[in-house]
Chains A and B, each alone.
Chain A
Amino acid sequence: MPQDETMAVQSSSTQSSDRVLLEVRGLKMWFPITQGLILQRRVGDIRAVDGLDFFIRRGETLGLVGESGCGKSTTGRAILQLYRPTAGQVLFEGTDLTRLRGEALRRMRRRMQMIFQDPYASLNPRMTVGNIVGEPLEVHNIGKPEERRQRVQELLEVVGLNPYFVNRYPHEFSGGQRQRIGVARALAVNPDFIVCDEPISALDVSIQAQIINLLEELQDKFGLTYLFIAHDLSVVRHISDRVAVMYLGKIVELTTRDELYSNPLHPYTKALLSAVPIPDPVVEEKRQRIILEGDVPSPANPPSGCRFRTRCGLRMDICAEVEPEWRETAADHWVACHRV
């Protein structure tokens, strides 16, 4: 079985009962910076994603958090081969997606879908809801037209929309309802794995909880595996089994939800957690914030050694010289920091 092959290359601490669905090894996604109009010379690279190693177990939710520009969305897209990675492997049940081309890749795509951030931009305004949700079925040649119509109505019901809405257009729906349409589209082909790219950040607070609950219900119902990309640490804590924290193209820490929030090891994780406002004035009054200096450096020219060192309160000489090793300091707790 392909799953067993992936198991063999995994870290020793991973329990053998946990099945790995997806494994990422040394993933890099660089975008060229060019100069000149006709003769474009490559003068550098934006290192959006610069060497990631992690895996996602079947049926779990891996949260990926970080601030804008850290490469979290690029990671999601590179996994789905919406960008072809510069280097590294993406093993889906042991098959390296980066080596697949054409029809073979298209067939694998049936098993992986994406839910996008902006429910206003990710639905074609000229298509009816029925056509939007049914398009993946058409692309992958699933079922006869009549069966597809029925399936679309089922899907709308599953995500909490009225099945009679099939002939309506996206502009007739609110943000939360549109996001439900996006979820229905992702579910159409019965995928195993869904990349949720900030699926609630464009929604109002009172609507966010509706979508989070929906995603959790669907996961239970269909045994879905999620990569949940977000910048809101409270939401990620709620929905994830394990959480990866990303900074400037690298994962700096990855561990189980409870461990990350109760025992963060990386200085960036600590700063990030301390910066999240808590809706309680009594708690807020007593809280000590770690205020980071300055801004995130450019991914075109990341700092030598540890990328976080320019903003880190605990930096040492070695941090500028040697890149910290990505290692497992305790069971299921990975971190890259010289101080740990």
Chain B
Amino acid sequence: MGTLLQVKGLRTRFYTQDGVVNAVNGIDFSVDEGETLGIVGESGCGKSVSVLSVMRLIPQPPGRIVGGEVWFGGRDLLRVDEAEMRQVRGNKIAMVFQDPMTSLNPVLTINQQVSEALQLHLGMDKAQARKRAIELLEMVNIPRAADRIDDYPHQFSGGMRQRVMIAMGLSCSPQLLIADEPTTALDVTIQAQILDIVKRLKRELGMAIIWITHDLGVVAGLAERVIVMYAGYVIEHAEVKDLYADPRHPYTLGLLRSIPRLDAERKAKLTPIDGLPPDLIDMPPGCPFAPRCAYAIERCLVENPQLETVARRHQVACWVDVTSGRD
């Protein structure tokens, strides 16, 4: 399968009153056609800013993409004009946001909102768009879609609104769907419904997905490849099974150890990661994780490691081999 999206050396900063926030610090990643890539990290690690930069949806000012390339369909999206970018957004690449409560317009009906992209990008007339909108809502399991399409968002529950958002994302059959924590605001049983729908749609429609989350459980069941971000850097990249079976970065290792698992033997005590993530305005020299890292050596404090390949399709940015001494 060919590469659909290739991001190289992406750098995004925010120029605020308090100083320059180094949100994304030169990251590389790619997504193949039909593949699901998970991006994992905690709040402030730059995972949302990365994909918003890809879509060129960073508010400027205060934000600015200061470097890098985003290759999609033979073009560098960071260098095309705004009119061309509008042809990509919502059409070739669609996005689903975290909060289904605020991402829908409360004064427009569901029909008006789902039809908009169909009329805009696919040139359908109102009647065609409405018919297609009903089909899309049925595809995401909205019961009695034909009756409910003229409802307003407040008449829908949180899970149904998120399904509407997904239907809107799918409306122009995008090649890539970017989902930014789409199930974080939802209850687990509703999350299970949404994940079920997404897996089915991916099978049926064959689109690629970037799924952003802080939940290592959700990624495990959904993604084929995963990148882990910390303080605006990609610190580990691996195929999903390798990442969980053989994590190589102390941060990934720490995350996996710090969460209680429903299916594992109950531990007397959790192993937290001490300390706090670094201040992105005043970044420490060296590895950003070094101040919290149990494996840190002197070199970590002065020199920031680059991503290096350590196994097949497995890259880590760390000076220390955490596997040494392991069986």
Contacts and interface: CB of A to CB of B under 8 A. Distances in A.
Contacts of A294: 143
Contact of B191 (A176, A207, A275, A285): A275
Contacts of A272: 188-189
B256 interface: yes
Contact of A277 (B190, B220, B255, B277): B220
B188 A275 contact: yes
A275 B42 contact: no
A206 B270 contact: no
Given A204-B43, A279-B217, A281-B221, A295 B157 contact: yes
Interface stretch (A106-114, A185-193, A233-241): A233-241
A281 B192 contact: no
What is the interface residue range for chain A against chain B? 35 or more
Contacts of A326: none
A234 B262 CA distance: 5
Contacts of B191: 275, 277
Nearest to A285: B221
B276 A174 contact: yes
A318 interface: no
A238 B220 CA distance: 21
Contact of B188 (A67, A209, A257, A282): A67
Contacts of B218: 277
A29 B271 CA distance: 39
A276 interface: yes
A321 interface: no
B116 to A, nearest CB: 26
A278 interface: yes
Contact of A206 (B160, B193, B254): B254
Interface in A66-122: 67-68
B258 interface: yes
A261 B189 contact: no
Contacts of A174: 276
B270 A295 contact: no
Interface stretch (A43-51, A137-145, A210-218, A299-307): A210-218
A18 B217 CA distance: 37
A289 interface: yes
A271 interface: yes
B53 to A, nearest CB: 22
B261 A234 contact: yes
Interface string A198-228: 0000001111111011001000000000000
A80 B188 CA distance: 28
What is the interface residue range for chain B against chain A? 35 or more
Contacts of B259: 205, 208-209, 234, 279
Nearest to A257: B266
Nearest to B257: A209
B193 A233 contact: no
A281 B255 contact: no
A311 B62 CA distance: 47
Contacts of A283: 220, 263
Contacts of B274: 210
Nearest to B267: A238
B313 interface: no
Interface string A240-282: 0000000000000000010001000000000111111111111
A281 B157 contact: no
A289 B196 contact: yes
A261 B267 CA distance: 15
B260 interface: yes
A275 B192 contact: yes
A204 B214 contact: yes
A55 B91 CA distance: 56
B28 interface: no
A209 B254 CA distance: 11
Interface of B: 42-43, 143, 157, 159-160, 187-193, 195-196, 214-221, 240-241, 244-245, 254-256, 258-263, 266-267, 269-274, 276-277
Given A209-B271, A257-B266, A273-B262, 10 more contacts: A67-B189, A67-B190, A208-B259, A209-B259, A212-B260, A231-B187, A234-B259, A278-B217, A279-B217, A289-B192
14 contacts: A68-B187, A206-B273, A209-B258, A237-B262, A272-B188, A277-B215, A277-B220, A280-B261, A281-B220, A285-B221, A291-B189, A291-B196, A295-B159, A296-B157
10 smallest CB-CB distances across A and B, nearest first, come from A277-B217, A209-B272, A284-B221, A238-B260, A67-B187, A275-B192, A209-B270, A279-B216, A209-B258, A206-B273
